[in-house]
Structure 1
Amino acid sequence: MTTATPDVRRLVLVTGPAGAGRASAIRALEDLGYEAIDNMPLRLIPALLENPIPDKPVALGIDPRNRDFSVASVMDTLGRISAVQGLVPELLYLDCRTDVLLNRFSETRRRHPLAEADRVEAGIQRELELLAPLKSCADILIDTSDLNVHQLRAEVEHWFSKGDHSQLAVSVQSFSYKRGLPRAVDMVFDCRFLRNPFWEPSLRASTGQDTAVRDYIRTDPRAKEFETKLADMMFWLLPAYLAEGKSHLSVALGCTGGQHRSVAMAETLGAALADAGWQVSIRHRELDRHKRKEA
């Protein structure tokens, strides 16, 4: 993906299944200073490109319900944008698990746009199959399954804020292997070989964000060496990714429950990268999920 410069404008096409948060992402981009248009018919984009390039980035929400929508037409539109000097096209895909989409439609009692009668699940499945080719070629994929609207806004701000686009943005997250690998990550590291604080009764209810948990993990003679080697590898790789033109990198660290070891290692790695001057965001998938349940 080409990295934008001050003389080049980003044009982001935003799509994904109904209920995944496209409208919220568009509003977040608008608040970031993007000229945002939701539910933009694909047939009108060529006319938009014929006008002078705007002096700010553009975000266009693409709705699969539009009658002119097809995967081929979206890919053709991205090609047309690429041919316009001064514009850098990006495809942002908002993904979401089927069970979460079904729950969101049930809570709002909305009718799915592609569902026949009340068969919401069938409509969701039909739309996910329609969009699968776009998901596979998206420049940026944000899985909103475990995100509330504020966390989605933070993710959008992380990837699309109009800061220094010559910098590589790094996302570090922790997760539980019991709940599956996180989607759309570039690297995954397994922390399950480290000493597990879960088996220490006084630490079981704590998390890897607590000093006592981190100190306990570091009693494992392999922990410090793992921290050092992981950070050294990232310090070696990040300049190479930046030179290659990559603007986003997502790193995930997992353990059994996603509460202790992976959280501690993600915090440590994120802090090391930030101290070295890299743009870093840290997220803990399972801790965030528990907070939402308690709320």
Structure 2
Amino acid sequence: MTSERQLVIVTGPSGAGRSSALHALEDLGFDVVDNLPLNLVETLVAQENCKWPLALGIHTRTRQFSPQALIETIDRLAARDRIDASLLYLDCTRDTLLRRYSETRRRHPMAESADPTEGVARELALLEPLRARADTLIDTSAMNVHDLRREVERWYAPDAGRDMSVAITSFSYKRGLPQGLDLVFDCRFLRNPHWELSLRPMDGRSSEVSEYVQNDRAYGAFFDKVRELLVFLLPAYRAEGKSHLSIGFGCSGGRHRSVALTEAMANALADTGQPVSIRHRELERRERV
């Protein structure tokens, strides 16, 4: 279990997986702040409403970044009563970092040219004092994002249960698939409430639209088979160490069929005791306009 006032500073060379580690810590219940200027770290921690446990992402692009200043900050925080401050360093070999930058075609933040070789070498040299100071060092050279997530959990939540959160998203294929979906189901074969003038202004959250979609002859079999598949898969994903599963239902406009399916499936999974969150991408977009 995490300490009541646990603070983890996450750093390491660009491309080593800092963002993925922060996401993993967030899923473990940490309040996460990335790229906080160094002079604000102690100010944040001192606030009465500071949320614990806390994870801060610090890297070479952070304002006022200095390895020595960061080490001194961690040491001061660690000396305070009731604060468990530690440094997590995500290590990675030079060749692996170069390969990752080559694959993504991103420009290294410390390279003056498009060639990341110089930037990787400079950053590794700059960060060496932090690597030596690290309380926890994770070498991500041979890891994928799932391996890193499991390793973070092993270090920071060794006694955590295997509860897995599930997020279900409705979307329109016209605007492309939402990022990060693990499973996608196309429900465009169901009859479309858009062509019913009385239903067109509504969305899939309304009982009228939901009933219209469910009255399609293919709906029952489709819904039951998807529900059975998910109920079968969830324990397997949980056993594999997955902490979050993202499911998408898509239709043409993202307002009727996909919304109705998302609502119905979320309720069905919630009835089994599974934590479920809902997002309706296109409805949220319309509401922001």
Question: Normalising by structure 1, what TM-score?
Answer: 0.52
* Contact 2:11–2:18 (Cα < 8 Å) also in 1: yes
CA pair 143-47 structure 1, distance change in 2 beyond 3 A: same
Q: Which amino acid aligns with 2:19?
A: A
Paired residue for 1:113? 109
* Contact 1:10–1:89 (Cα < 8 Å) also in 2: yes
Paired residue for 2:27? 31
Give the CA deviation at 1:55: 5.4
Instruction: Please point out which of 51, 55, 71 is paired with 1:59.
Output: 55
* Contact 1:53–1:86 (Cα < 8 Å) also in 2: no
Give, in whole Å, the separation in 1 of the partners of 2:101 and 2:134.
25
Give, in whole Å, the separation in 1 of the partners of 2:51 and 2:120.
37
Give the CA deviation at 1:117: 1.3
Paired residue for 2:136? 140
* Contact 2:44–2:50 (Cα < 8 Å) also in 1: no
The alignment covers a number of residue pairs equal to 160
Give, in whole Å, the separation in 2 of the partners of 1:150 and 1:74.
28
* Contact 1:35–1:59 (Cα < 8 Å) also in 2: yes
Q: Which amino acid aligns with 1:147?
A: M
1:82 aligns to what SS in structure 2?
A: helix
Give the CA deviation at 1:46: 1.8
Give, in whole Å, the separation in 2 of the partners of 1:91 and 1:53.
23
Provide the alpha-carbon RMSD of the alignment: 1.8
Instruction: Please point out which of 108, 133, 156 is paired with 1:160.
Output: 156
Residue 18 of structure 2 is aligned to residue 22 of structure 1: yes
2:121 aligns to what SS in structure 1?
A: helix
Paired residue for 2:207? none
Q: Which amino acid aligns with 2:39?
A: R
Give the CA deviation at 1:119: 2.6
Residue 95 of structure 2 is aligned to residue 102 of structure 1: no
Alignment of 1:204-243 (within 5 A): none
Q: Which amino acid aligns with 1:146?
A: A
* Contact 2:29–2:53 (Cα < 8 Å) also in 1: yes
CA pair 58-145 structure 1, distance change in 2 beyond 3 A: same
1:45 aligns to what SS in structure 2?
A: helix
Paired residue for 1:89? 85
Give, in whole Å, the separation in 2 of the partners of 1:5 and 1:114.
35
Instruction: Please point out which of 1, 21, 40 is paired with 1:44.
Output: 40
Alignment of 1:138-287 (within 5 A): 138-161=134-157, 163=159
Q: Which amino acid aligns with 1:27?
A: H
Residue 73 of structure 2 is aligned to residue 77 of structure 1: yes
Q: 1:225-267: CA deviations, max 9, x gaps?
A: xxxxxxxxxxxxxxxxxxxxxxxxxxxxxxxxxxxxxxxxxxx
Q: Which amino acid aligns with 2:36?
A: M
Give the CA deviation at 1:100: 0.6
Paired residue for 1:12? 8
Q: Which runs of 4+ in 1 moved over 4 A?
A: none
Give the CA deviation at 1:75: 1.1
Gaps of 5+ in 2: 161-289
2:95 aligns to what SS in structure 1?
A: helix
Give the CA deviation at 1:137: 1.4
Q: Which amino acid aligns with 2:68?
A: A
Q: 1:180-204: CA deviations, max 9, x gaps?
A: xxxxxxxxxxxxxxxxxxxxxxxxx
1:63 aligns to what SS in structure 2?
A: coil
Q: Which amino acid aligns with 2:37?
A: P
Q: 1:30-73: CA deviations, max 9, x gaps?
A: 00000111112111112112212745311000011124011111
* Contact 2:98–2:117 (Cα < 8 Å) also in 1: yes
* Contact 1:14–1:22 (Cα < 8 Å) also in 2: yes
Give, in whole Å, the separation in 2 of the partners of 1:100 and 1:122.
14
Give, in whole Å, the separation in 1 of the partners of 2:58 and 2:45.
16
